[in-house]
Amino acid sequence: MGYNTMKKEILFQFDIAWQLFEYHCQNLNDDEALWCINENGLQIRKKDTTWIPDWPDTEDYAIGPSSISWIMWHILFWWKSTISASKYNIILNKDDVKWPGDTSRAIIEIRNCHDEWIHFVNSLSEEELSSSTLCRWPFDGQNMYSLLLWLNAELMKNASEIGFARFLYASIKQKSGAE
């Protein structure tokens, strides 16, 4: 498979994941995004005037589902970290990426990451895509093709998690309203 075909296929796969993200974020509001089925689930918690994302010590199933706001922060974290490492050779930590304060601003920031990522990927040469020099986070030493494919999978997973959380929220709200 040639360079242009491979990049085209990766971007096609990416676009499918992106469409799923956009679909699940339609009409998403703060109440729904900040809701979590239990206190153990990963959330964005307000402390004074700052929003602090939970950071799990384990990925045990007992934690339960994450809030949508945490999932969106997580998308911002891995996407900004990937862009920063690949484009600027700067490794971010979790405290460098802030929750923007509300769902609509989070969606805007995620869309900005999307646009920057697409521009970046389209600018990569065949040599850069095959090389490991730009892949510094989270897979130091892998080629960029591997990083792009991982990012596609990560976006699809996170978009699916947002969809699951929305289905869960709607079913619980419907059940509680019916009682």
pLDDT tens-place string over residues 52-103: 999 988 888 988 899 999 999 999 999 999 999 999 999 999 999 999 999 9
Cα-to-chain-centroid distance, residue 169 = 20
What is the end-to-end Cα distance of the chain in Å, rounded? 58
Secondary structure element (H or E) that encloses residue 53, with its range = strand 50-53
Secondary structure element (H or E) that encloses residue 44, with its range = strand 44-47
Q: Which residues have C-beta within 8 Å of that of residue 12, sequence separation ≥ 6? A: none
Token output for 14? 């990416």
pTM of the model: 0.94
